[in-house]
Amino acid sequence: MNDQTRVPRTLPRFSATFDPQTTSEIRRAAATGIYDIRGGGAKRKVPHFDDLLFLGASMSRYPLEGYREKCGTSVVLGARFARKPIELKIPVTIAGMSFGSLSAQAKEALGRGASAVGTSTTTGDGGMTQEERGHSSILVYQYLPSRYGMNPDDLRRADAIEVVVGQGAKPGGGGMLLGQKISKRVAAMRTLPEGIDQRSSCRHPDWTGPDDLEIKIEELREITDWEKPIYVKVGASRPYYDTALAVKAGADVIVLDGMQGGTAATQEVFIEHVGIPILAAIRPAVRALQDLGMHRKVQLIVSGGIRNGADVAKALALGADVASIGTAALIALGDNDPRFEAEYQALGTTAGAYDDWHEGRDPAGITTQDPELAKRLDPVAAGRRLANYLSVLTLEAQTIARACGKSHVHNLEPEDLVALTVEAAAMAGVPLAGTSWIPGSPVG
């Protein structure tokens, strides 16, 4: 034996910059020549609600009795201009997800689950289906650049209208639905040939900028005789100014979607690199509302990575009125369930990581138009799971609110929060735990 072979070797070391994920993407790009498209939201770690903590009650703040004292959760949306505002029983709603990206069964399940607990669902880039109108007691109708399936009858059938300017996963990007999911029914609803790769535009065809939007909103109000609340949805990027401009344009409700927010199909580079985390967006949006005297008059719905009642409570404490969920709702229905592990493996992935939603081969039958796969989702059972999950989110948010001594979840406030990291303290505008230090200077 040679002495030299016994020289200790350092372990093979992966580069933090060129990690295995990165190098595998370089090889994929080199082999195909086209960017990666996937569903879901940003997967990398960004400052989030986990970086905040509630202080709870202490000598100077009195808690409410957990199961006895009332802690309200309802919220009225749209009272600014709409003749028929809507009331949600819980401060959580289901975000817009298109029929096309989701199966008809999944849309029905969302409607059933949300209705069971008194909250709303939202259509998406693909029009309104009978299933979701029928099963959603409160349905928000999205008004998107593509205007697929848009018609005045559905507009009037809706309970509220959401003008979509942007989405957190892709502020500045349009939609895409690849050929595998453009079934006969989806194609007919969108006035497109079957099986083509569909791109929807990123800008509205008949207005540009906030001054036009004001006139567009007036038109929508005229068509619906000023009945419906009108929301404006933006991806989180310049939340102070976007909120102020949406208020100026006449919105009843602002929907603010952070970069973690899910999408049906978008370029990976877009999902991971454009837009800001919801944690950083709420305070500037609230400040814009406060500066205009509109906080709690124009409601703020926030989304992007909301998972549990603590996230909901933190979003409300920062000044939002409602939290909205997409990805979590799909998981509650059964998306990425480990019981389909063998099938996820066959697709080259694993339960919990499956994000090729654009391919329409979802073993759980949710992000697909394949009738056989879609049949796997029982809308009644899935709706019940969603209702359970929404109840848990609400109970958890109430638990925290009571611990902070609040008789309504909307009484939570930034003063109930501290941050675990300097970044989160700066973004959320709350002190670093154990200090009175709020780093950074507010926008606007």
Partner 1 sequence: MTTEAPAKTFDLATSSVRELNQFLHRVKEGANLPRWRVLNPRGVHAIAAGVDADVTIEIDGDVGYYCAGMNKQATVIVNGNAGLGLGENMMSGLIYVKGDVSQAAGATAHGGAIVIEGNASGRCGISMKGVDILVKGSIGPMSAFMAQAGTLTVFGDAGEALGDSIYEAKLYVRGSVKSLGADCIEKPMEDIHRAELYERLKLAGAAGEVDIGDFRRYGSARALYHFHVDNAGAY
Ligand X SMILES: Cc1cc2nc3c(=O)[nH]c(=O)nc-3n(C[C@H](O)[C@H](O)[C@H](O)COP(=O)(O)O)c2cc1C
CB of 150: closest distance to ligand X in angstroms? Answer: 13
147 binds, among ligand X, partner 1, none (CB under 5 to 8 A by kind): partner 1
Q: Binding residue for partner 1 (CB under 8 A) from 63, 118, 179, 444? A: 179
Q: Residue 162 forms beta bridges with which residues?
A: 142, 231
Specify the residue, 83 or 296, whose C-beta has the smaller distance to partner 1: 83
Whether the CB-CB separation of 414 and 427 falls below 8 Å is answered with no
For residues 329 and 332, give the distance between their C-alpha atoms in angstroms, rounded to a whole number.
5
Residues 6+ apart with CB under 8 A from 351: 336, 337, 338, 339, 340, 341, 344
Instruction: Measure Cα distances from 370 to 100, 277, 345, 403, 426 in Å.
Output: 11, 34, 19, 47, 46
Q: Which residues contact 87 (CB under 8 A, 6 or more apart)?
A: 74, 75, 76, 77
Please identify, among the stretches 126-134, 146-154, 237-245, 246-254, the one whose residues bind partner 1 according to the rule CB under 8 A.
Answer: 146-154
Which residue, 141 or 357, is less far from ligand X as judged by CB?
A: 357
- Using CA atoms, how far residue 115 sits from 92, 164, 183, 203, in Å, is 12, 23, 28, 32
368 binds ligand X (CB under 6 A): no
Q: Which is nearer to partner 1, 37 or 382 (CB)?
A: 37
Q: Report the candidate in 95, 80, 124 with the shortest Cα–Cα distance to residue 229.
A: 80
267 and 223 in contact (C-beta within 8 Å)? Answer: no
Quick one: what does residue 319 bind among partner 1, ligand X, none, with the CB cut-off 5 to 8 Å set by partner type? none
How many Cβ atoms are within 10 Å of 325's Cβ, its own excluded?
Answer: 26
Distances from the Cα of 313 to the Cα of 50, 294, 408, angstroms: 12, 21, 11
Residue 85 interacts with which of partner 1, ligand X, none, CB < 5 to 8 Å by class:
none
33: partner contacted, choices ligand X, partner 1, none (Cβ within 5-8 A by kind): partner 1
Interface residue with ligand X among 37, 64, 90, 95 (CB under 6 A) is 95
DSSP summary character for residue 295: B
Determine the size of the site formed for ligand X (CB under 6 A): 31
Burial of 293 (0-12, 13-18, 19+ CB in 10 A): exposed
354 vs 357 by CB, closer to ligand X: 357
Selected binder of partner 1 within 107, 216, 233, 402 (CB under 8 A): 216
Q: What is the CA radius of gyration of the chain?
A: 23
155 counts as binding partner 1 under rule CB under 8 A: yes
Q: Which of 75, 86, 88, 98 binds ligand X (CB under 6 A)?
A: 98
User: What is the nearest approach in angstroms of ligand X to the Cβ of residue 164?
Assistant: 5
Q: Which of 73, 103, 129, 167 binds ligand X (CB under 6 A)?
A: 167
User: Residue 299 half-sphere exposure, CB side, CA atoms within 13 Å?
Assistant: 28
Binder to partner 1 among 21, 23, 201, 350 (CB under 8 A)? 201
The answer to whether residue 218 forms part of the interface with partner 1 (CB under 8 A) is yes
> Smallest distance from the beta carbon of 425 to ligand X, in angstroms?
23
The residue behind tokens 């709350």 is 430
Closest-approach residue to ligand X (CB): 326
User: Per-residue DSSP letters for 29-70?
Assistant: HHHHSS--EE-S---S----GGGEEE---BTTB-PPPTTTS-
150 sits near partner 1 (criterion: CB under 8 A): yes
Q: Does 262 bind ligand X (CB under 6 A)?
A: yes
Q: How far is the CB of 97 from ligand X (least distance, A)?
A: 4
CB of 51 to ligand X, least distance (A): 16
Write down the least CB distance from residue 294 to ligand X, Å: 22
What are the residue ranges of helices labelled H in 79-203? Answer: 104-116, 130-135, 152-157, 184-190
Sign of CA dihedral 206, 208, 212, 214: positive
Q: For ligand X, give the closer residue by CB, 39 or 405.
A: 39
Query: Which listed residue (49, 207, 240, 270) binds partner 1 by CB under 8 A?
Result: 207
**CB under 6 A: which stretch of 13-21, 262-270, 391-399, 414-422 binds ligand X?**
262-270
Binding footprint of ligand X on the chain (CB under 6 A): 39, 41, 95-98, 101-102, 124-125, 142, 164, 167-168, 233, 257, 260-264, 303-306, 325-328, 357, 367
Binding footprint of partner 1 on the chain (CB under 8 A): 32-34, 146-147, 150-152, 155, 178-179, 190-193, 196-197, 199, 201, 205-207, 212, 215-216, 218-219, 222-226
